Amino acid sequence: MSTPKITFVGAGAIGLPMAVRAAAAGTVTVVDTSPERLAEARSHGLHTTDSLSAAPAADVVLVMVATAQQAESVLFGPGGVYETAVPTAVVALLSTIGPAAMEKIASNRPSDGPTLLDIPVTGGIPGAIAGTLTLFSGGDTAAIEQIRPVLESMGNVVLAGPNLADGQAYKIVNQLLATSQLVVAAEALAFAEKLGLDAAKVFEAVKGGAGGSWMLSNYGPRMLSETKDIAARVDIFLKDAALVGETATAAGYKSEMIDATVAVLEKAVEQGLASEDASAVIDVYRKGA
């Protein structure tokens, strides 16, 4: 697959920079329903269309949507991937949907259709822009190796396991860390403010120490800023945290940390912050969680 034709479904805040990175490995056509997102994709030199049926036959189909329901629609709906893609294509689902949803999707795929891979990613918008995402890759190893150059254009490939949903399981562990650390970062900086400290100075003092984290370093400055550009919405973090909780329950595992995290994120949604950047969760503590 020297110069593969790539269809990238979902030109959202993280999807578009991933598609731009993927263009280093092949010819990319972006599929999205938003004229604004398609115009932005064209500004990066990418081909675009608003429907899969209008996209050129692809060697690789990358799907980056927000929810399991959207993934099912893109894959199995009218004019979806399994209706339009050639049987020799490799389809990689990059979304975070949880192991149970991935297993359902895997069970519904046609046996004579394109190969499906489970490859959720982590690293956020900064990682998508820089091409330094981590891609938790589950499914047929030969298919992963077949499209490795495409995957590596977006970041580091981690072989999670040979089964579909292995990638999701890795991502769920990651999201236990990420969602809880977001909430802890918000609580810590709000605590600094409550103590009468300059929270910005506290942030600089602690971010590189034992109490530091990727979430603190990346979301802390936005928590303390009056202007919060949207990198990832509160409701997306709640969706992921809830997936962690559901997966833990299904496994018979009690995770008190994720229960507490979900409670704070639900409070943020109740306060009208669902569509705000995740850094806005600090307002839950400022108002008294």
Active site residues: 171
| Burial of 12 from C-beta contacts in 10 A (0-12 / 13-18 / 19+) | middle
The whole-angstrom separation of Cα 72 and Cα 211 is 40
| Helices and strands in the chain, H and E counts | 14, 9
The whole-angstrom separation of Cα 220 and Cα 238 is 18
Distances in Å between the Cα of 258 and the Cα atoms of 168, 176, 240 are 17, 6, 10
The whole-angstrom separation of Cα 195 and Cα 39 is 47
Tell me how long the chain is. Answer: 289
The whole-angstrom separation of Cα 27 and Cα 46 is 8
